[in-house]
């Protein structure tokens, strides 16, 4: 009994020591649970740039002003290897061992779905970049997203296409079998059907396979539009396979993802005239008083830091940091944050209503988009001469949509 008591006393002493160590911390420790390797390593590393840009900008400004003191931020990384189970255990490690105050979440919807119960269990607010609506359907209390879900944005792209001449009459839709890509494909299918476009074929296919035979079938159907939901490497494979069998529909949509530098670099002229969607580009008109005054300033900072253009993923992730900043200031929370403060932080995030370089941030607090930022304007993009141009809605148009697209063999 004596021995048990001694062990218990030692444990209590140790925990008070660590708790004491936490209390003396004068900076915010931010966990970053990301796809730094694995199948979604490209997008995860983009998200990392956004978080890094925010942390560097905050620290260069002296930190986050809480009361009269500025607190710097320090990022603690964990690589979830693009695997949902790894994402959940990485979050647990960041919370229980690194004692992070709040978290930046995964890029992938699948990993976010696995991670959100963990942050909910420990009451640690997390902002990430998932784009699948499935993330928000179960109303995760501590998970937030700055990039609107694809079913919110997909319809906007289809609307732009419907205004073109000749008006699309038919479409084929393909999506990879993962939460994000499947949602993209489904949102396209629903949007086409609601607007009277006949969907000739709709398939959800396993990732990692060569889709040429399927494309041959689709070519025989002669659809006006081909819509595809997938990630960067698959988008490139898809376009190359279309070109190889000379399958040229009138329009090709690939939603988010066409703005990444890899897409144009890999496809060159084949990338031209492909449509996509975004909520932010470096020319989006925004105005902000926090860190970066507008889109252009953020784009310049990104180019200076990484030597390549920044896309909506990076911008959305950096804007997530600003949302935390605003919420922390609202509740006047100095580091480290205990459970009660983290709960307050979650509630403060729900109340965030701020203009940033990225656009307006206001998280939905009810409905199917619960905790996703739905205050953004949906833009339709098209790659024209190697650059993503806004071609819709008309109020934001930078260039006229090029439609029908020039067949591959005439380029």
Partner 1 sequence: MVLLPQALVDGIMLGATYIIIAIAFSMVYGVMHVIDFAVGEWIMLGSFTGFYLTLWIKIDPLYLLPLVFIIFSTLGYFLQPVVQRVLSGHRGNPLLMALVFTFGLSMMIRGLAQTIFGFYSHSIPSYFSTRSFFIKEGSFFITISAVRLTGLIYAVVITGALNYLLKFTDFGLGVRALAMNKDAAALMGVNNRSTNKFLFGIYTGISAMTGVLIGTILSISANMGGDYTIFAFFVVVLAGMGYLAGVPAAAFVLGLIQSMFLVYLDPGFTLVAVFGLLYLILVISPTGLFRKGWG
- C-beta of 271: minimal distance to partner 1 in Å? 10
Instruction: Select 220 or 394, whichever has its Cβ closest to partner 1.
Output: 220
- C-beta of 246: minimal distance to partner 1 in Å? 5
| Site residues for partner 1 per CB under 8 A | 37-39, 41-42, 44-45, 177, 203-206, 208-214, 216-217, 219-220, 232-233, 236-237, 240-241, 243-247, 261-262, 265-268, 270, 408
Instruction: Select 138 or 411, whichever has its Cβ closest to partner 1.
Output: 411
* Maximal CA-CA distance, the chain: 87
Instruction: Select 76 or 262, whichever has its Cβ closest to partner 1.
Output: 262
- C-beta of 212: minimal distance to partner 1 in Å? 5
Compute CA distances 242 → 26, 201, 218, 381, 387, whole Å: 55, 16, 10, 20, 21
Q: What angle do CA 169, 248, 309 make, to 5 degrees?
A: 105
- C-beta of 112: minimal distance to partner 1 in Å? 19
The pair of structure tokens assigned to 53 is: 């840009």
Instruction: Select 15 or 216, whichever has its Cβ closest to partner 1.
Output: 216
- C-beta of 45: minimal distance to partner 1 in Å? 4
Instruction: Select 233 or 396, whichever has its Cβ closest to partner 1.
Output: 233
- C-beta of 272: minimal distance to partner 1 in Å? 14
Instruction: Select 177 or 385, whichever has its Cβ closest to partner 1.
Output: 177
Compute CA distances 144 → 22, 127, 268, 345, 388, whole Å: 25, 5, 35, 12, 28
| Those residues with Cβ within 8 angstroms of residue 8's Cβ, 6 or more apart along the chain or in another chain | none
Give the chain's length: 411
- C-beta of 210: minimal distance to partner 1 in Å? 6
Instruction: Select 75 or 95, whichever has its Cβ closest to partner 1.
Output: 75
């Amino acid at each position: 009994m004596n021995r048990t008591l001694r062990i218990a006393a030692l444990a209590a002493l140790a925990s008070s020591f660590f708790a004491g160590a936490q209390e003396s911390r004068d900076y915010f420790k931010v966990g970053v649970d990301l796809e730094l390797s694995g199948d979604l390593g490209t997008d995860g590393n983009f998200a990392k740039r956004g978080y890094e840009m925010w942390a560097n900008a905050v620290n260069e400004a002296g930190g986050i002003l809480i009361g009269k003191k500025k607190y710097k931020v320090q990022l603690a990384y964990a690589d979830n290897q693009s695997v949902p189970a790894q994402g959940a255990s990485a979050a647990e490690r960041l919370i229980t061992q690194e004692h992070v105050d709040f978290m930046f979440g995964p890029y992938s919807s699948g990993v976010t779905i696995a991670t959100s119960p963990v942050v909910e269990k420990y009451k640690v607010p997390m902002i990430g970049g998932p784009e699948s609506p499935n993330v928000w359907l179960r109303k995760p209390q501590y998970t937030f997203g700055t990039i609107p879900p694809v079913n919110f944005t997909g319809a906007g792209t289809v609307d732009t296409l419907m205004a073109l001449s000749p008006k699309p009459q038919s479409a084929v839709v393909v999506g990879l079998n993962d939460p994000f890509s499947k949602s993209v494909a489904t949102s396209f299918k629903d949007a086409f059907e609601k607007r009277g476009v006949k969907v000739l074929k709709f398939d959800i296919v396993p990732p990692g396979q060569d889709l040429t035979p399927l494309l041959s079938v689709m070519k025989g159907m002669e659809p006006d539009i081909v819509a595809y939901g997938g990630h960067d490497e698959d988008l490139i494979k898809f376009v190359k396979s279309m070109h190889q069998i000379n399958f040229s529909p009138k329009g090709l949509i690939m939603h988010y993802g066409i703005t990444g530098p890899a897409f144009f670099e890999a496809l060159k002229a084949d990338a031209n005239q492909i449509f996509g969607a975004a909520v932010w580009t470096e020319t989006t008109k925004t105005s902000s008083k926090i860190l970066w005054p507008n889109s252009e300033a953020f784009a310049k900072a990104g180019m200076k830091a990484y030597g390549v253009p920044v896309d909506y993923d990076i911008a959305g992730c950096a804007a997530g940091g600003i949302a935390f900043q605003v919420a922390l200031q609202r509740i006047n929370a100095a580091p480290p944050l205990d459970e009660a403060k983290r709960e307050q932080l979650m509630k403060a995030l729900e109340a965030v209503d701020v203009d940033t370089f990225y656009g307006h941030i206001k998280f939905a607090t009810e409905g199917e988009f619960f905790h996703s930022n739905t205050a953004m304007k949906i833009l339709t993009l098209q790659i024209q001469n190697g650059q993503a141009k806004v071609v819709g809605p008309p109020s934001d148009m930078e260039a006229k949509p090029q439609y029908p697209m020039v067949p591959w063999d005439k380029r």
